[in-house]
Amino acid sequence: MEICYYIMIFIFGLCFGSFYNVVALRTPNGESINKPRSHCPYCGKFLKWYELIPVLSFVIQKGKCRSCHHKLSLFYPFIELGTAILFTVSYYSFGFSYELIIALTLVSVFMLVIVSDLTYLIIPDRFIFVPAIVIILVNFLNLGIKGGLIQIGYGILAFLIMYLIMLLGNFLFKKESLGGADIKLMLLAGLALDPMLAIVVIFLASFIALPVSIFLLIRNNDHVIPFGPFITLSILTVYFTKLNIREIFEKILTFF
């Protein structure tokens, strides 16, 4: 029976990943997510149902449109398969629980941000605030009124910490160092984690982003690096590893 749950969640992940592609590519342009229906971004031909099967359609069509034969973006299968895998990992890590809902929400944000930020260098507010509302509701159900309010306080604190870092960066570099959406993403980190782990998220995101930034700077002379994917990846990493920063500090102090 357990294997059936994994298969179902994997399939759900594929379907949601396909949906996230549409949402992330249309929303920043102010387009409707349901009209017009799915079509080739190059020739405009409406797609048949069998051309919309996640991953499989891309493989069968060899990554090209059946009509104009234009090569399609690897974003499509990557997001579909990535969402399916992370949905499955979420269930493996948390089972059916409140934590699973938060994990699936964070995975969804990660996928939306990857497509939107890498494609347009934009992260629409709804990609942050709708998931934030979901996490807040889950926190109230799981932790009660007091615990839910405390997590909201953590979210605000994480937001303020990132805001101060932005101000410091702007002062040091004499230009905008972080985008507004990058700061807002830390609200999600605080809602899902405690403030100490939110700080860990900031350092981890910077650590991951540094070599990528250097590579892009050398290869493309690109000075604009989207930071959103690194923040969301770091939030996911910390959440899945279930770090307990207090226990870590206690062990360090005990060691000394």
% the chain with pLDDT above 90: 47
pLDDT in tens, 228-244: 899 999 999 999 987 66
SS3 25: helix
Angle between helices 195-220 and 180-192 (to 10 degrees): 140
Q: Residue 190: inside a domain, yes or no?
A: yes
pLDDT tens digits, residue range 35-68? Answer: 778 877 778 778 787 778 889 888 888 888 888 8
Output the pLDDT for position 182. Answer: 87
What letter would DSSP give residue 179?
-
Same domain, 11 and 128: no
Domain boundary among 96, 112, 138: 96
Residue 46 lies in a domain: yes
User: What radius of gyration, in Å, describes the C-alpha atoms of the chain?
Assistant: 20
Residue 153, pLDDT above cutoff 80:
yes
Task: Show which of 96, 112, 141 is a domain's final residue.
Answer: 96
Mean local confidence (pLDDT), 132-161: 94
Q: Tell me if 67 is assigned to some domain.
A: yes
Q: What is the pLDDT of residues 53-112, one digit of tens each?
A: 889 888 888 888 888 878 888 889 999 999 999 999 999 999 999 999 999 999 999 999
Which is higher by pLDDT, 8 or 64?
8
Residues 128 and 222 in one domain: yes
Residues 138 and 187 in one domain: yes
Contact by Cβ (8 Å): 213, 168: no
Q: Does 101 fall in a domain?
A: no
CA–CA distance, 195 with 247 (Å, rounded to integer): 14
Give yes or no for residue 143 having a pLDDT over 60.
Answer: yes
Q: Which residues on adjacent β-strands are paired with residue 71?
A: 64
> According to DSSP H, which parts of the chain are helical?
2-26, 56-60, 75-94, 98-120, 126-173, 180-192, 195-220, 228-241, 245-255
Per-residue confidence (pLDDT) for residue 49, from 0 to 100: 76
Determine the structural domain holding residue 221 and report its residue range: 122-256
Query: Which of 45, 61, 96 is the C-terminal boundary of a domain?
Result: 96
Within this chain, do residues 2 and 91 fall inside the same structural domain, yes or no? yes
User: Exposure of 116 by Cβ count < 10 A (0-12 exposed, 13-18 middle, 19+ buried)?
Assistant: buried
Does residue 117 sit within a domain?
A: no
* Overall pTM > 0.85: yes
Same domain, 192 and 133: yes
Q: Taking Cα atoms as reference points, which of 11, 65, 14 lies closest to residue 38?
A: 65
- Indicate whether 112 belongs to any domain: no
Nearest-angstrom CA–CA distance, 57 and 197: 40
Gap between the terminal Cα atoms of the chain: 48
Looking at the fold, whether 86 and 129 belong to one and the same domain comes out as no
Q: What is the pLDDT of residue 222?
A: 58
Residue 77: predicted pLDDT: 92
Has residue 106 been placed in a domain? Answer: no
pLDDT at 248: 58
Q: How many domains does the chain have?
A: 2
pLDDT tens per residue across span 178-219: 778 889 999 999 999 887 888 889 889 988 888 877 776 666
Q: Is residue 57 part of a domain?
A: yes
